[in-house]
Amino acid sequence: MIEKIISWSIHNRFFAWLGIMLIVAGGVYSIRETPVDALPDLSENQVIIFTEYMGRNPRIIEDQVTYPLVSNLQGIPRIKSIRATSMFGMSFIFVVFKDNVDIYWARTRVLERLNYAQRFLPQGVTPSLGPDGTGLGHVFWYTLEGKGYNLGELRALQDWYVKFALQNVEGVSEVASFGGFQKRYQVTVDPHKLVYYGVSLMDVTRAVAANNRDAGGSMYEMNATGYLIRGAGYITGLEDIREIPVGTYKSIPIKLSDVSEVQMSSEVRLGIVEENGEGEVVGGIVIMRFGENAKDVIERAKARMADVEKGLPPGVRFKTAYDRSDLILGAIGTLKEALWQEVLIVCFIVVLFLFSIRSGLIAVFCILLSVLIGFMLMKLFGITANILSLGGIALAIGDVVDPSIVMAENAYRQLTNRVLQHK
């Protein structure tokens, strides 16, 4: 079989060169388009469902949220398994699909089933899908540095400015914030005052909820001019909350400030984020979308951060905490170094022992074409260029060298024997 291929190639040089050019073009295209990452993504093909039901213990979460959702998710085609976890105030469900299932098709089917299963959940509980990323999607971490700014101000800057700007970057699935304090209005009710004024806790809750929204009206016409009427009720500060009426006592309105203490506080924190033991920091994690090129996503995120930094308050700047592109570039550099070193060694050895530059070039072309074919197969089967795949190519170069040297030496010997026979 090999002899026929060699004979056909010798008698059809045009088609042989055409095949070589196609391999070169396909290999170059595959190198440019193959996603580059540092580590191979071995995570399962799964869709995460997150449901929040704050204030409920794990048993209630399991019975009223997790079990109804898992029961109604059964029957989705091409599912491998369904796993669930119930904890205080939260439920996580992991729907694992088969490896050959498209992730966005899977998310669509899960979302269709969730629309039906939501009617079995308690009122006000809405499940949501997790980001379309993987366990290795955390490609870039950053922190915000700013002298003179507290952790609450930096966290507000991250949540309401930086996060929204970076989420628009192509290939970014989500920007997760960490650290700092999340501001909130806290109402501390005095039970003794509630009893004294005859106001129930539910009255306080309903009053706060009802007084934090606008009311729509109609149009009032006067002097051939129309005026739109509306009731402005959105809370804009602490004083607005203190002035909310919660009931009456002997025909005197009772304000929220009469039965409680209203102040600004932060969300309950379950941990802190430190950097190098130098104190707490605020920042974010750029999560890459499934199937994207990690190197390109990081470069686009850095470019957007340079634009966002121009709009930050004076003294606030970005600081890189983790950048996977350094590891990616290191892996690519290792392959390049191994490739040119082995090419030079092969050329030197072949020329030294065969005294033929053409034979050395044949071995070099075999190495280069084999590497290009390898990248074409990686692109065809959806394999990312990572440490393992690039390292495998670097190791395989040594195996490609041996047959190319043997074939070049054999051809050189056959040609030499023919020349001697003619003489």
pLDDT of residue 143: 92
Same domain, 169 and 280: yes
pLDDT of residue 127: 92
Same domain, 120 and 168: no
CA distance 402 to 212: 77
Same domain, 398 and 346: yes
Same domain, 103 and 140: no
Which 8-state DSSP code applies to residue 243? T
Q: Do 259 and 197 meet the contact criterion of CB atoms below 8 Å apart?
A: yes
Where in the sequence is the domain holding 175, given as residue range(s)?
A: 134-182+267-323
Same domain, 252 and 332: no
Is the Cα torsion angle 53, 54, 60, 66 positive or negative in sign?
Answer: positive
pLDDT of residue 354: 67
CA distance 89 to 191: 26
Average pLDDT value for residue range 243-267: 87
Average pLDDT value for residue range 182-195: 89
Name, in order, each residue with C-beta under 8 angstroms of 405's C-beta and a sequence gap of 6 or more. 346, 349, 350, 363
Q: Read off the pTM.
A: 0.76
Higher pLDDT residue, 398 or 269?
269
CA distance 281 to 274: 6
The total number of structural domains that make up the chain: 4
Query: Quick check: 180 pLDDT over 80?
Result: yes
Same domain, 21 and 163: no
Domain boundary among 305, 323, 341: 323
Query: Quick check: 419 pLDDT over 80?
Result: no
CATH number at 176 reads 3.30.70.1320
The two tokens of residue 330 are 């290191």
Q: Do 97 and 80 meet the contact criterion of CB atoms below 8 Å apart?
A: yes
Same domain, 315 and 357: no
**Percent of the chain with pLDDT strictly greater than 70:** 98
Name, in order, each residue with C-beta under 8 angstroms of 178's C-beta and a sequence gap of 6 or more. 273, 282, 283, 284, 285
Same domain, 73 and 116: yes
Same domain, 293 and 176: yes
Domain boundary among 117, 132, 147: 132
State the Cα torsion 54-60-62-65 to the nearest 10°: -60
β-pairing, 172-178 vs 46-52, is unpaired
Same domain, 165 and 119: no
CATH number at 247 reads 3.30.2090.10
Same domain, 260 and 271: no
The two tokens of residue 191 are 């039970």
Same domain, 254 and 294: no
Q: Do 64 and 53 meet the contact criterion of CB atoms below 8 Å apart?
A: yes
Domain boundary among 240, 266, 292: 266
